[in-house]
Structure 1
C-alpha cells in the first residue's frame, strides 16, 4: 500500500516507473504538460502505461487532491498475472492504449472538452470502457476481478 497526502505528486510525467496504482481511497488529478486531463477516485487505476509500454516512461503526472491510499501493483506481479490471465490483463492494455491516444488528442487541441474539472469522454470511449468493465465483472473466475474487488472492498 502507498499513501499520498493532499498535493503530493504520486507519479511524475517523464520519469521511469514500473508499477500501477489502484485507488482504494481518495482522489487524484491526471496532468499532461500541466493540463488537467481528468480526475480519478476509488476503484480507478493509473500508471498502467508504465507496465504496458515496456519503457516504463510515465506519460502523465498524477497529483493527490486529498489524502489517498493506493494498492501498488509492480511489474513482477503484473507479469505473473499476465501469464496466468492474459484476457484480464488485456483490459488494462486496452485502457492504457486508449488513454495514450486521448492524451495525444488533448495535446493537439486548444480547448479540451471539460465539465466540472473532468475531461469528457466520447460516447464510443465510454461505451468501450463499460463493455470492458462488464466483461471483467461477468467473468467471476477472473483473477483481476477478484483482485480489484478485494482491494477496493
Structure 2
C-alpha cells in the first residue's frame, strides 16, 4: 500500500468511526433529551444536531459533489445562534436528514480515488492552491471530523 493510500485510509477510518459514534449517541438520546440544553444557558441538543447536518451539507459544495440537500438549515443552524430562530425542524426530521446525508456523503466519498482527495476544494482558488496544496479535499474531511468530535463531546453531556 502506498503512503498516500494509507493516509487516506487512516483519515477515513477516523471519519467513519466518528459518524458511527454519532449515530450510536443519537440513537441513545430521546427526542425530548435533544430538546434540552447541554448545560445551563448553552446550546440545545437539537441545535447541535441541526448544526452538524448544516455543516456536513456544505461539504457537498466544498468537495464539488453537488448542491446542498438542506440549504434551508444554513440560517437557523449556522448563521443564527441557538434559541434565536422561532421555528426549527423537529428532532425527528433532523434525525432523518442526518441519516440521509450520511448515506449520500458515504456514496459520494466512495466514488473518489485516492488522487481525487488531494485536489483543491471549491473554497480555494487555483492560485492559492498552487501555493498551499494542503488546502485540498482531504483536509476538509480532517477538519470536519474534528468538528464532529467536538460537538459529540457536547452531546455526550446530555446523557
Q: TM-score range by the shorter chain?
A: under 0.3
Q: Which structure shows the bigger proportion of residues in helix conformation?
A: 2
Q: Which structure shows the bigger proportion of residues in strand conformation?
A: 1
TM-score, scaled relative to structure 2:
0.27
Question: Highest relative contact order (Cα 8 Å, sep 6+), 1 or 2?
Answer: 2
Q: Which has the greater radius of gyration?
A: 2
